[in-house]
A and B are shown apart, each in its own frame.
Chain A
C-alpha cells in the first residue's frame, strides 16, 4: 500500500516536472525547425534535421551583440555597486550606533513595499530633467543600491559574534579595515546571494530600460527581444532562437551556482 503510494507520487512528480520543462523543450525544438515546419501545426517537438544555422541567422537579424554588450555592462556595474553599497550600509545598520538609525532603517524597509511602477513616472521625469535619457547613467545609477540587499547584509552582520569586533579593536583595527578584511569575508555566502540577486534583477529588467532609452544603440536584451518579437512578419523559428539566446546566460549561471540560487530564494524567505 505504501509502496504503491510512493510509486504514484513519483509518477505524478515526474509528470509535473516534464510539464514544467515542456515550454523550454518546445522552444529548443522550434528554434531548430525550418520556417515551414515551425508554421505548420504539428505535435512533433524536435525536427528531423535540426537547422543549427537558425541561430546564426538570428544573431544577424538583430543587433544582439550590442544588446548583450549593454546588458552585461549595466549588469556588472550594478552588481558590483549593489554589493558594495549594501555591505557598507548593512554593516553600519548592524554594528554602529548613530542618531536616526532606527528611523532610517524603517524607511528603507518601507520602500520595499512600494511597487516600482509607482516610482516609474517621477523617475522618468527626473532623468529627463537631469538630461540622462538614453545614457548608461540612467540605466545604472538608480539601481546601485537596493533596500532588500541592505536588509539581507544587516541580518548577516548581526549573526556574527560581537567578540570578533572587540578582539579586533583591541588589536587597533578600525571599522573600515575590520569590515574589509574580517567581517566581509565572514559573510561571503550572503555577499554571493546579494550579488546574484542584483545580477538577475538587472539582466531581467524590462520596464525601466524601455522608458529610459529610445535609440537601438542603448537597448538591452530584454527590450531587444520584445522589439524582435513585435516586429512585423517575425519568423517563429528565429524568435525561439532569440528567446533561447536570452535565456542561456541565466540558465548557465543557475546550473553553475545552483546552491547559491536556492539559498537566495531561502534568503528571501527569511523576511517572513
Chain B
C-alpha cells in the first residue's frame, strides 16, 4: 500500500514539474467525487429543466415548450400542494424552534442528569422516519390507537371520534364547530404530520442550541440575575442575541428540510397524498406524477418550480433575517 502510494506520488511529481503546480494530483483526488456529483447532482438539474419542456411517456415524448408550466400554474393540484407545503413549513419550523429553545434553555440549567435527558430527547432523530411514522400511524388509528383510547377514557369522545390521519376536514373548521369553512387552513391529517415532524426533529435542534448556550459565558447571565432581570428579559437581551447564529442556521436548514419533506408524508398516509389529497405537498406531487402517472414532464416542471421556490426563499431569509443575526 505504502509503496503503491509512493510510486503514484513520484509519477504525479514528475507530471507537476511540467504543468501547473498541484494540478495533476488535484485532478486525481477530486475526480471520483466531482464525477459522481456532476452526473447525479448537477446534470439532473439541467436535465430536469429539459424534461419539463416535454409531454408524453417513455419514448413518445414530444416538445411542448412551457406547456407543463402553464398547466401546473393553472391546476388546482399544484396550488393545493403549494398551500400544503406552506402550511407545513409555517406550522413546523417556528414551533419546533420555539420548543427546542425552551427545552435547551431548561437542560442548560440542569446540572445532574443533563446528559441522560439530552440522550433521550435526541433519540427520535436517530430512528428512521419510516419506522417511527409506522408507529404513529397505529398510535393515531381511530379504532385501535391509544390516542382515541385516552380521549375516550377521559370521556372526551362523543359519537364521532377524531379520525386523525384520515380526516380531510380543516382543523380550524373542526375547532370552531363548523363556523370556519373546511377548506381554510390545514386539514387535521396534515396537522398530525406536522406534530410528528416536530417530535422527530426537535432533538437535533435541542443539541445544537444546547451547544450554542454552553458557549455563552455564565457570568453574563449571573450579573443579569443580580440586576433583577426576569426570565423574559434575560432571554430577550442575552440568550437570544448570543444564540442568533445557531437559530439562524436552524431556521435556514429547517425551512429547506420542511420544503422537501417526503418520507413522513408517505409513511404516515400510505401514499403521501392523504385524505382528499390534503397532505399532498409539492414533493409528494412530484412523486405521484412520476410513480403513479408516469407524467415525467409535468413532474419535472413542478420540481423546477420547487427548486426556484427554495432558492428564492433561502435568499430572502439570508437577506432579511441574516441581517439581524448577531455575530461576535
Residue numbers in B under 8 Å from A177 (CB-CB): 2, 5-6, 9
Residue numbers in B under 8 Å from A246 (CB-CB): 128, 130-131
Instruction: Tell me whether A206 and B263 are in contact in the complex, defined as CB-CB below 8 angstroms, given that A99-B20, A117-B287, A271-B253 are known contacts.
Output: yes
Q: Of residues 89 to 116 in A, which have CB atoms within 8 Å of B's CB atoms? A: 89, 91-93, 96-99, 101, 104, 107-108, 111, 113-116
A60 interface contact, C-beta 8 A: no
In the assembled complex, the CB of A272 is this many whole angstroms from the nearest CB of chain B, namely: 3
Q: Of residues 1 to 18 in B, which have CB atoms within 8 Å of A's CB atoms? A: 1-2, 5-6, 8-10, 12-13
A118 touches which one: B8, B26, B48 (CB < 8 A)? B48
Q: Of residues 228 to 268 in B, which have CB atoms within 8 Å of A's CB atoms? A: 245-246, 248-250, 252-253, 256, 259-260, 262-263, 266-267
Residue numbers in A under 8 Å from B22 (CB-CB): 96-98, 175
Query: Are B36 and A266 in contact (CB-based, < 8 A)?
Result: no
Query: Are B199 and A20 in contact (CB-based, < 8 A)?
Result: yes
Q: How far is the CA of A122 from the CA of B127 in the complex (A)?
A: 29
Least CB separation from A13: chain B residue: B106
A204 interface contact, C-beta 8 A: yes
B130 touches which one: A14, A225, A272 (CB < 8 A)? A225
Instruction: Tell me whether A85 and B32 are in contact in the complex, defined as CB-CB below 8 angstroms, given that A99-B23, A115-B307, A118-B45 are known contacts.
Output: yes
Q: How far is the CA of A126 from the CA of B38 in the complex (A)?
A: 13
Q: Mark A253-270, 1 if CB is under 8 A from B, else 0.
A: 110001001100110110
B95 interface contact, C-beta 8 A: no
Query: Are A27 and B135 in contact (CB-based, < 8 A)?
Result: yes
Residue numbers in B under 8 Å from A142 (CB-CB): 36, 39-40
A39 interface contact, C-beta 8 A: yes
Residue numbers in B under 8 Å from A43 (CB-CB): 146, 149-150, 153
Least CB separation from A147: chain B residue: B37
A-B contact count (CB 8 A): 310
Residue numbers in B under 8 Å from A230 (CB-CB): 270
Query: Are A115 and B134 in contact (CB-based, < 8 A)?
Result: no
User: Which residues of B come within 8 Å of A, CB atoms?
Assistant: 1-2, 5-6, 8-10, 12-13, 20-23, 25-27, 29-30, 32-37, 39-45, 47-48, 51, 103, 106-107, 109-110, 113, 117-132, 134-139, 141, 143-146, 148-150, 152-153, 199, 203-204, 207-208, 211-212, 245-246, 248-250, 252-253, 256, 259-260, 262-263, 266-267, 270, 282-283, 286-287, 290-291, 296, 299-300, 303-304, 306-307, 310-311, 314
Q: Mark A161-191, 1 if CB is under 8 A from B, else 0.
A: 0000000000001111100110000000000
Query: Are B110 and A261 in contact (CB-based, < 8 A)?
Result: no
B266 touches which one: A38, A200, A226, A265 (CB < 8 A)? A226
Q: Mark A203-220, 1 if CB is under 8 A from B, else 0.
A: 110110011000000000
Query: Are B47 and A122 in contact (CB-based, < 8 A)?
Result: yes
Query: Are A117 and B283 in contact (CB-based, < 8 A)?
Result: yes
In the assembled complex, the CB of A79 is this many whole angstroms from the nearest CB of chain B, namely: 15
In the assembled complex, the CB of B301 is this many whole angstroms from the nearest CB of chain A, namely: 10
Main secondary structure, interface of A, reads helix
Least CB separation from B153: chain A residue: A43
For the complex of A and B, 5 pairs with smallest distance between CB atoms: A174-B9, A272-B249, A115-B260, A122-B44, A122-B47
In the assembled complex, the CB of A238 is this many whole angstroms from the nearest CB of chain B, namely: 11
In the assembled complex, the CB of A254 is this many whole angstroms from the nearest CB of chain B, namely: 4
Instruction: Tell me whether A250 and B307 are in contact in the complex, defined as CB-CB below 8 angstroms, given that A99-B20, A177-B2, A229-B134 are known contacts.
Output: no
